[in-house]
Amino acid sequence: MSGGEVIAIIPARGGSRGVPRKNVRPVGGVPLIVRAVSSARAAHGIDRVVVTTDDDEIAALSRAHGAEVIARPAELAGDTASSESALDHALEVLGAAGVDASVVVFIQATSPFIDPDDLDDAVARVRSRAADVVFSAVPSWGFLWRQAPDGVGVSGVNHDPAHRPRRQDREPEYLETGAFYVLDGDGYRAARHRFFGAVAAGIVAEHAAIEIDTEEQLRHADALAALVDPIAPIDVDAVVTDFDGVHTDDRVLVSEDGTEYVTVNRSDGMGVAALTRAGVPLLILSTERNRVVAARARKLGVEVRHGLDDKAAALVEWAKDAGIPLERIAYLGNDVNDLACLDLVGWPVATPGAHPLVLAAARTVLGRAGGDGAVRELADRVLASLEPPTRVPAASRPAPPREDTRA
């Protein structure tokens, strides 16, 4: 084994047949690619996290969450392209830049619940030469059957149907989950395949075995996320948000007489109410001059400053009057007119569909979109940094129906 880095490589192409745009689809409000990058970055034994993709949105989300991005050629991003071809290309690009991979951690974004501790255990086994390859697996005692070639009848695959031993009398078999493969770098470069030398199974929890290949599996994973995901806290003393694209989905309905309507989310209102009960100050800043902004703020019982030409100046003035240091404020925005505010505060936050410059400026990118629970998710994460009694349900739980606010 060479003395190079432990490099996680996550292939994530933009196309998908079974689940359209699969790698950016959310599970528990968090896009699959963000989950994969976050798990890899949380592993202590991984030095570098690289996403190889042909898709601009995947690239922006990956960079926003701390991964390096390698542009994946179109010929390596089709339905017939192998994962190994993406790994090979990424390693060639890294090698040309003088980066040597002593251990390659191949991670698939389609597995949403990768535990960083499992990655660390597998890396340690490869680095210590206990194995050349460690792949994620769950033990199985299931009886497998195979359909006969003529389509009539089935036969036992891993058992004799005439002899059905008890579970406790059987040795388990191991089901490959597809979540990760930790490979000795030199061995992989020689074999050009993910299985070579001494291969070992890295046992993971059953919930970590879920792999997203169908819409049904995506729904199952989304439901499970509320039970297994921790709330990542955002430790601040105040919350300031933009309005359009944050409390709304950035769209406006205009009637014949010019009256404008926007759509908001009741769960955001619940999040704002929870912040208020916890004594966390909240302010809405907006350049929009329409009465709808003030109407929504009144409904929420939140201070608002709208029709602004300089949001950053208004933020500085409000923070000074409130006696709250800017570094103790979270600001949630989605477009370029939020950049100055994001640069001022200690915790800049973006919605997942934000402008690329906003994503790049953010310390945190939420899983929920504007108008679809983004404010609620931010509220939950701020409250998660307080004492346990003040916590509210996770933002990944299903949101109540949305409501319309008339200007």
Q: What is the pLDDT of residues 128-184, one digit of tens each?
A: 999 999 999 999 999 999 998 888 889 999 988 888 888 888 889 999 999 999 999
Least Cα distance to 209 among 144, 143, 140, 138 occurs for: 138
Q: Give the phi and the psi of residue 342 in degrees, each rounded to 5.
A: -60, -35
Query: What is the location of CATH 3.90.550.10 in the chain?
Result: 5-228
What is the average pLDDT across 67-77? Answer: 89
Give 266: exposed, middle or buried? Use CB within 10 Å, 0-12, 13-18, 19+.
middle
Q: Is residue 196 within 8 Å of residue 188, measured between CB atoms?
A: yes
Give 90: exposed, middle or buried? Use CB within 10 Å, 0-12, 13-18, 19+.
buried
Contacts 24+ apart (CB under 8 A), 94-100: 94/7, 94/50, 94/70, 99/4, 99/5, 99/7, 99/48, 100/2, 100/3, 100/4, 100/5, 100/185
2: confidence class by pLDDT, cuts 50, 70, 90: low
**What span, in angstroms and rounded, lies between the C-alpha atoms of 186 and 183?**
9
Class level of CATH domain 5-228: alpha beta
Query: What is the location of CATH 3.40.50.1000 in the chain?
Result: 238-406
Element spanning 285, H or E: strand 282-285
357: confidence class by pLDDT, cuts 50, 70, 90: very high
Residue 23 clears pLDDT 60, i.e. is over it = yes
Q: Is residue 260 within 8 Å of residue 290, measured between CB atoms?
A: yes
Q: Determine what percent of the chain is predicted with pLDDT higher than 70.
A: 94
Q: Is residue 130 within 8 Å of residue 200, measured between CB atoms?
A: yes
> In the prediction, which pLDDT does 400 show?
35
**What span, in angstroms and rounded, lies between the C-alpha atoms of 374 and 267?**
9
Q: Is residue 139 within 8 Å of residue 203, measured between CB atoms?
A: yes
pLDDT tens, position by position, 359-395: 888 888 888 899 999 999 999 999 988 854 333 333 3
| CATH 3.40.50.1000 correct for 238-406 | yes
403: confidence class by pLDDT, cuts 50, 70, 90: very low
